[in-house]
A and B are shown apart, each in its own frame.
Chain A
Amino acid sequence: MTQELLTLTGIVLDDELSISLRELCHVCGVTAERIMDMVEEGVVDPRGASPREWHFSGKAVVRAQVALRLQRDLRVNLAGVALVLDLLEELEELRRLHGRYNM
């Protein structure tokens, strides 16, 4: 079967990405209230003064999604989620350093 494969171009969730609250809600499949709770707790950190002007980076998308899964699967509350996410980032950083010096 020599069928031409469809080539897809995705969106890289990096710091250059900038999406609105509405788009973040759509991507995560949750209400604006849940995202606003996350902002209040520091789980995600948008640019912009008010929810209407908020813009989120790709990193925020990843953090919001991990937060939702941790809440659902492990019943971690938002303050706990914020702590877990920060510690996970530190751990990633340490793992990278560890990898570099232990070749």
Chain B
Amino acid sequence: MEFKDYYAVFGVARDATQDEIKRAYRKLARKYHPDVSKEADAEERFKEVGEAYEVLKDPEKRAAYDQFGRQWQAGQEFKPPPDWDAGFEFSGGGFTDAGNFSDFFESLFGRATHGDRRGAGLRAKGEDHHAKIVVSLEDAYQGATRTITLKTPELDANGHVITRPHALNVKIPKGVTEGQRIRLAGRGAPGLGQGPNGDLYLEIAFQVHPWFQAKQRDIYLELPVTPWEVALGETVTVPTLGGKVELRIPPGSQAGSKLRLKGRGLPGSPAGDQYVVLRVVTPAADTPAAKAIYQKMAETMPMNPRAELGV
């Protein structure tokens, strides 16, 4: 087990006042709240901050923890000395959140009291669990089945909570969009006493696609085209999630023109559309003949594309 430096978590000195600790806690709790933060490890950091505060906000626990302060470094192998807590009393209650503190915390202060599942008559719904599931746009279009591995808490013979990896298949229905959540009832943490299990929520995240981008159910594609295709009009083949389709580029289109393929986005009611944004690619003037053509264009079709900029 590794020693945890709760003061370093808050970035405060060991002699920080209770007010300083409270302020540091609130600031970090806002920063790492998993519903607000986009940091990849937000949930872990949020728990770490909660655990540190659990100890440092309570003068009794803080004093007990401070005994270790000078001898130990964060990450160092740690074993609490026997009877280390003699003379301190941690009366039950006061835990901010359901269990889930580190082994380090539990070796010092024991388990959260309401984590005791043996209590007679106690009855509460288990905690909800949250996980992110990454799916490709193709899977979102067609629907798919994904195997996910969850750590499910179980009770061992002595009534202790242990976690066990548990694989299950989840159906990803077609037409899911980024950020949507799928609720799997009863697949969260076990309930207390006779209480029902919590639920499992899977948040859909899209894998980055090499050329498609999704916005809700609409799909965006940047399509490279030649100057003559946009100027003269042309029917070109365009990829969509459902396969290739023919798209007519109207004559006189411009770079950045947005063309719509109705109903070719992610399925749903109504289905999304695919938007094709034209990107004009000019051929290189790398032969005398090509140079002559550009020269001819400059003479035949003089234009100032910067007129709007006043230059």
Contacts and interface: CB of A to CB of B under 8 A. Distances in A.
Answer whether A and B are interacting partners: yes
Contacts of A70: 33, 35-36
Interface stretch (A1-9, A37-45, A48-56): A1-9
- Of the candidates A10, A13, A61, A74, the one having the most CB atoms from chain B within 10 angstroms of its own CB is A10
Interface in A1-45: 5-14, 16, 27, 29
A61 B201 CA distance: 11
B182 A12 contact: yes
Given A70-B35, A84-B36, A8 B184 contact: yes
Contacts of B168: 5-8
A13 B125 contact: no
A8 B169 contact: yes
A62 interface: yes
Interface in B247-276: 268-269
Contacts of A16: 268-269
B55 interface: no
Contact of B183 (A10, A66, A74): A10
A10 B202 contact: yes
A29 B173 contact: no
A59 to B, nearest CB: 9
Contacts of B46: 73
A13 B30 contact: no
Contact of B181 (A6, A13, A74, A92): A13
Contacts of B173: 9, 12
Contacts of B187: 8
Contacts of A47: none
B23 interface: no
A27 B178 CA distance: 22
Given A5-B147, A7-B169, A8-B168, A27 B183 contact: yes
Contact of A100 (B38, B182, B220): B220
Nearest to A89: B179
Contacts of B220: 100
A5 B169 CA distance: 6
Interface residues of A, number: 29
B145 interface: yes
B14 to A, nearest CB: 26
A14 B167 contact: no
A89 B167 CA distance: 33
A96 B131 CA distance: 21
Contact of A7 (B38, B145, B213): B145
Given A13-B180, A14-B180, A92-B179, A69 B35 contact: yes
A74 B268 CA distance: 36
A10 B170 contact: yes
Nearest to A4: B169
A62 B147 CA distance: 24
Contacts of A84: 36
A88 interface: yes
12 contacts: A5-B168, A6-B168, A8-B170, A9-B170, A9-B173, A11-B182, A11-B183, A13-B180, A14-B180, A70-B33, A70-B36, A73-B97
Interface of A: 5-14, 16, 27, 29, 58, 61-62, 65-66, 69-70, 73-74, 84, 88, 92, 95-96, 99-100
Interface of B: 26, 29-30, 33, 35-36, 38, 46, 97, 125, 128, 145, 147, 167-171, 173, 176-185, 187, 199-200, 202, 213, 215, 220, 268-269
5 closest Cβ pairs, A-B complex? A10-B182, A7-B169, A10-B184, A9-B171, A13-B181
